[in-house]
């Protein structure tokens, strides 16, 4: 691997064929770069916009190595790609973000230990391996609390809420008695995220801090600017930069945080995502260079693009049947419609999003 940027005409290999891979692929084409998508099923949304596609299991290391041998750099659109697959790909092509970013983000206990080890505030937590562990931890971390599987789980999956000490056993059974982490609930005023890009040369840039609202464990809206004072915005970016630097991250990394009401420190990190992120979709229409293009630029060794916001924006996810209203959304002023090309709308499934922009305040 050289430090020279990949020239137009180069091919980016993307592990994962969902909507994030689809939008990453579209951004790459704007720069004259091609993408080769590897996915474990043939009906991937990203396949519609890629120069080349491969279907194979993520634990088929020979197939992963063959795929990586056909591209110039490998990246991922989701964080749960097995470490063995990343290592197999890395033997044939550079892999960005680095494996460390995925190792930390894939395991919730390791993630909490890593973040708190940097001196950054997180919610009270404890590792859980047995029901006895859980009962003991609930005495220290007073309910209400969340029990989460350490691996996998997203959009509220793999989680159980514990309201009282009596809920421990049923919560443990509901997550399949899998290795877990117990997290105390944070009394927060708002949920925030910082979409950060770090280049191969160590350059770091931050998009404006986002204010998020979730419904049923799924992101509903992301709004910029967030309703926070400049000093808190600065602190949030410093936290995100510290995490990106400690990981040696390359590409987009998103740090989700809580703004606590009246507590010190005011910010507590919830989790990190070492990839392009749902809460950064607003950048497609409110910034000159989106999170997707900046991820591509970073992993290919290009100069990072301008992250300045030229408009205020509200991103709204279209979940399940919401996408059936595409005619309505398409007719709304100052609204950009992004549909993911998924064949079947199911409850809780992200089918697209809209970005509604307005003059910058």
Range in 183-187, 221-225, 282-286 the model is least confident about: 183-187
State residue 153's pLDDT score.
Answer: 62
Q: How far apart are CA 354 and CA 335, in angstroms?
A: 7
312: Cβ–Cβ under 8 A, 6 or more apart, which residues? 224, 225, 286, 357, 358, 359, 360, 361
- Domain 188-359 is found in CATH 3.30.470.20: yes
Per-residue pLDDT for 247 more than 80? yes
Q: How far apart are CA 26 and CA 254, in angstroms?
A: 20
Closest CA relative to residue 205, chosen from 247, 255, 252: 252
Indicate the pLDDT class of residue 14, thresholds 50, 70 and 90. Answer: very high
**CATH number, domain 11-95, options 3.60.150.10, 3.40.50.20, 1.10.760.10, 3.40.30.10:** 3.40.50.20
List, in sequence order, every beta strand (DSSP E) within 77-203: 125-128, 145-149, 159-162, 180-184, 188-198
Q: How far apart are CA 325 and CA 348, in angstroms?
A: 16
Share of the chain above pLDDT 70, in %: 98
121: Cβ–Cβ under 8 A, 6 or more apart, which residues? 265, 267, 268, 269
Q: Quick one: average pLDDT of 125-152?
A: 93
Best-predicted range by mean pLDDT (117-131, 138-152, 262-276): 117-131
Q: How far apart are CA 74 and CA 201, in angstroms?
A: 17
Per-residue pLDDT for 2 more than 60? no
State residue 1's pLDDT score.
Answer: 42
For residue range 151-196, list pLDDT tens digits in order: 876 655 688 999 998 899 999 999 999 999 999 998 899 999 999 9
Q: For the chain, give the mean pLDDT.
A: 95
Helix (H, G, I), strand (E, B) or coil at 110: helix
Give the CA count within 13 Å in the CB-facing half-sphere of 57: 5
In terms of CATH, what superfamily is 124-184?
ATP-grasp fold, A domain (3.30.1490.20)
**Domain segments of the chain: what residues?**
11-95, 124-184, 188-359
């Amino acid at each position: 691997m050289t430090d020279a940027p990949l020239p137009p005409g180069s091919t980016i290999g993307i592990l994962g064929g969902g909507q994030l891979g689809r939008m990453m692929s579209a951004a790459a084409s704007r720069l004259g770069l091609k993408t080769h998508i590897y996915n474990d099923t043939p009906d991937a949304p990203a396949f519609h916009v890629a120069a080349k596609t491969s279907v194979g299991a993520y634990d088929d290391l020979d197939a992963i190595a063959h795929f990586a041998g056909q591209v110039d750099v490998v990246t991922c659109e989701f964080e749960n790609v097995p470490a063995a697959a990343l290592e197999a790909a890395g033997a044939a092509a550079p892999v960005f973000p680095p494996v460390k970013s995925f190792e930390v983000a894939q395991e919730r206990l390791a993630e909490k230990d890593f973040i708190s080890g940097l001196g950054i505030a997180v919610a009270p937590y404890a590792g859980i391996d047995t029901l006895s562990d859980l009962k003991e931890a609930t005495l220290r971390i007073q309910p209400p609390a969340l029990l989460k599987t350490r691996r996998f789980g997203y959009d509220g999956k793999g989680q159980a809420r514990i309201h009282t000490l009596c809920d421990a056993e049923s919560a443990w059974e509901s997550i399949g008695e899998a290795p877990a982490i117990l997290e105390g609930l944070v009394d927060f005023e708002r949920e925030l995220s910082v979409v950060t890009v770090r280049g191969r040369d160590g350059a770091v840039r931050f998009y404006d801090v986002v204010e998020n609202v979730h419904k049923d464990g799924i992101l509903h809206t992301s709004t910029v600017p967030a309703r926070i004072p400049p000093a808190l915005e600065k602190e949030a970016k410093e936290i995100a930069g510290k995490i990106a630097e400690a990981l040696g991250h390359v590409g987009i990394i998103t740090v989700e945080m809580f703004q606590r009401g009246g507590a010190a420190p005011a910010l507590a990190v919830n989790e990190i995502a070492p990839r392009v992120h749902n809460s950064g979709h607003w950048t497609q229409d409110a910034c000159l260079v989106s999170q997707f293009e900046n991820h591509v630029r970073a992993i290919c060794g290009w100069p990072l693009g301008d992250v300045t916001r030229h408009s205020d924006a509200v991103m709204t996810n279209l979940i399940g049947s919401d996408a059936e209203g595409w005619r309505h959304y398409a007719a709304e002023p100052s609204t950009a419609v992004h549909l993911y090309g998924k064949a079947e709308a199911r409850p809780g499934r992200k089918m697209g999003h809209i970005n509604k922009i307005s003059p910058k305040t």
